[in-house]
Amino acid sequence: MSLLLGEPRRSGSLAAVVDPPVRSVGTRLTARGAATRERIVLAAAELMAAKGVAATTLDDVRVASGTSKSQLYHHFAAKEELVHEVITHQAGVVLERQNQLLRGVNSFAGLRRWRDAVLQRNVLRSGAYGCDIGTLAAELSDTDEAAREALAGHFATWEQLLADAFRRMRDNGTLRPDTDPATLSVAVMAAVQGGYLLAQTAHNAEPMRVALDMALAHVKTFEASTTGL
Amino acid sequence: MSLLLGEPRRSGSLAAVVDPPVRSVGTRLTARGAATRERIVLAAAELMAAKGVAATTLDDVRVASGTSKSQLYHHFAAKEELVHEVITHQAGVVLERQNQLLRGVNSFAGLRRWRDAVLQRNVLRSGAYGCDIGTLAAELSDTDEAAREALAGHFATWEQLLADAFRRMRDNGTLRPDTDPATLSVAVMAAVQGGYLLAQTAHNAEPMRVALDMALAHVKTFEASTTGL
DNA sequence: CCTTAGTTGGACTCCAGAGTCCATCATGCC
DNA sequence: GGCATGATGGACTCTGGAGTCCAACTAAGG
């Protein structure tokens, strides 16, 4: 499948190549430049995840990344471009983590381990900050069409990881043959994102626990009957 | 129960009384002033729902409401206060609508009607804009503590409306006696909010349909067995 | 009417934050 | 080792948007 966008993206150079709009045409990054670019994106990602995109100023990013104004604009044509890069970065991190957690899942026990891992992270921060992709989606969907499309794609990739797990569970007889992995994955994603939002607003991970439990119970209703039938 | 905060709040004067922070101390609104205030809040609510809080400038509000700068600051000490008023307003609208939809629900048929109503609204706008409360929560939870708390309260009120319906269904024998309405309502809320977010990002109401179907199916798993047993 | 308090228009200030510029330094390459 | 190109520092400009101010207007009440 072509959904393996969840690569670690440590290189940075790849991101520069992927990025067509402005700059990076006839501009090769040196190792030093790439490192700076990376630092900027990392700092921006962290700030934007914590305070939101609009509330994060380029001066915040400059200070947090220990760079100067000229470096910001040397690597990104405008704040919007940096935001897009942050989206790519966060998606890479989140999807890679989800990929690790989900790729081997082919049973209810595996699914429960995934649930536990997601929940645990949320508990650690008492629900605060929400989903790194979800908060970006909520803030940008109505104002930045390119961002919206990218984020929709990342959601789709994430859903695909879930759907693959469900497909494996269907194919190995854990789930009924008539189970639709795609639909099921959308339902579970909705529960996850809703859990994130409620937990973030309540500053309490409990809603996430409830949401994930519903999601798993829902999957369970597609369990193949073990009794003969 | 003390959760009937979902009153129509058409008066505006009530909102002014509820609002203790700044101004409105020794300042009685005339009908004219109240009308202006109302227009400002309405315009701001609409703009912020469509573009987000940060992307909405006071000049936007001024133009949309046909008022002047002095009127804005006559009625609100700062943009933040206006935002809080918008939260109260949107919560009033949403909760009143949900109250209308949910107050009589005491059966699966009623629950399906609620589902259909929520979904239909989402389909009409192709998922865009999301939930008026949810988008505010996502944008403000990490930057405005007062807003976060208010929104958490509004979510709780909404959940209480759902929980009341589930409690009625439990008490009339539709749901099993061991059903916990509160937990169930959190799960359903998570599905609703997740559905809103995915639909908003995809610009497509389908995820909302899937999420609501999961939620209803989940409630259904608490159905009291009709066969003797 | 005449006073007092609420309401309004709109010009004005002020500043944060986006974006520009250029001189200087570092580095890769021949 | 020297040229071309990338990387950097940081001062600078410019503008949008928050918030101020005051004179003028309206309305309620005595």
Same domain, A216 and A126: yes
Closest residue of A to B204, CA-based?
A152
Same domain, A68 and A121: no
Protein residue closest via CA to C1' of D20: B70
Same domain, A161 and A204: yes
Mean pLDDT for B153-167 is 98
Alpha helices in chain B (DSSP H): 13-18, 31-51, 58-65, 69-75, 79-102, 108-124, 132-140, 145-171, 181-202, 206-220
Domain tally, chain A: 2
Quick one: pLDDT at residue A22?
Answer: 36
Report yes or no on A97 lying in a domain.
no
Mean pLDDT for A94-110 is 98
Report yes or no on B5 lying in a domain.
no
Of A89, A119, A147, the domain-final residue: A89
Which residues 6+ apart lie within 8 Å of B209 measured at CB? Answer: B119, B195
The answer to which of A19-23, B38-42, B199-203, B221-225 has the lowest mean pLDDT is: A19-23
Report yes or no on A214 lying in a domain.
yes
Same domain, A110 and A206: yes
Per CB-CB distance under 8 Å, the chain B contacts of A213 are 187
Mean pLDDT for A31-49 is 92
B34 touches strand C (CB under 7 A): yes
Provide the CATH number for the domain around residue B23: 1.10.357.10
Distance CA A111, CA A103 (A): 11
Same domain, A204 and A142: yes
Average predicted confidence (pLDDT) for chain B: 89
Of A34, A65, A89, the domain-final residue: A89
Residue A25 pLDDT grade (very low, low, confident, very high; cuts 50, 70, 90)? very low
Same domain, A115 and A228: yes
Same domain, A30 and A114: no
Per CB-CB distance under 8 Å, the chain B contacts of A186 are 198, 206-207, 210-211
Report yes or no on A98 lying in a domain.
no
Same domain, A76 and A111: no
**% of chain B surpassing 70 pLDDT:** 87
Report yes or no on A96 lying in a domain.
no
Say how many C-beta atoms besides its own lie within 10 A of residue B62's C-beta: 18
Domain limits for position A154: 103-229
Distance CA A35, CA B107 (A): 60
pLDDT tens by residue, A160-199: 999 999 999 999 999 999 999 999 999 999 999 999 999 9
Contact A190 B206 (CB under 8 A): no
Closest residue of B to A155, CA-based?
B198
The answer to which of B92-101, B182-191, B218-227 has the lowest mean pLDDT is: B218-227
Of A89, A120, A151, the domain-final residue: A89
Mean pLDDT for B206-226 is 96
Task: Report, in ranges, which bases of strand D sit under 7 Å from a protein C-beta.
Answer: 5-12, 16-23, 26-28
Residue A175 sits at φ, ψ, to 5 deg, of -105, 155
Same domain, A18 and A123: no
Same domain, A125 and A218: yes
The answer to which of A9-13, A75-79, A81-85, A220-224 has the lowest mean pLDDT is: A9-13
Report yes or no on A187 lying in a domain.
yes
Mean pLDDT for B184-198 is 98
At A98, which amino acid appears? Q
The answer to which of A32-36, A170-174, B94-98, B137-141 has the lowest mean pLDDT is: A32-36
Report yes or no on B1 lying in a domain.
no
Look at residue A125 and tell me whether its pLDDT is greater than 60: yes
Report yes or no on B126 lying in a domain.
yes
Residue A35 pLDDT grade (very low, low, confident, very high; cuts 50, 70, 90)? confident
Q: Which of A148, A197, A200, A208 to mutate to test the interface with B (most CBs of B within 10 A)?
A: A197
Quick one: pLDDT at residue B226?
Answer: 75
Same domain, A19 and A109: no
Residue A27 pLDDT grade (very low, low, confident, very high; cuts 50, 70, 90)? low
DSSP helix/strand/coil, A92: helix
Quick one: pLDDT at residue B2?
Answer: 43
Mean pLDDT for A195-223 is 98
Per CB-CB distance under 8 Å, the chain A contacts of B210 are 183, 186-187, 190
**% of chain B surpassing 90 pLDDT:** 83
pLDDT tens by residue, A44-97: 999 999 999 999 999 999 999 999 999 999 999 999 999 999 999 999 999 999
Distance CA A5, CA A92 (A): 7
Bigger pLDDT: A92 vs A27 = A92
Same domain, A167 and A204: yes
Residue B175 sits at φ, ψ, to 5 deg, of -105, 155
Which residues 6+ apart lie within 8 Å of B70 measured at CB? Answer: none
Residue B136 pLDDT grade (very low, low, confident, very high; cuts 50, 70, 90)? very high
Task: Find out whether A141 and A151 touch, Cβ atoms under 8 Å.
Answer: yes
Query: A195 to each of B113, B187, B207, how far by Cα in Å?
Result: 24, 8, 15
Distance CA A204, CA B152 (A): 10
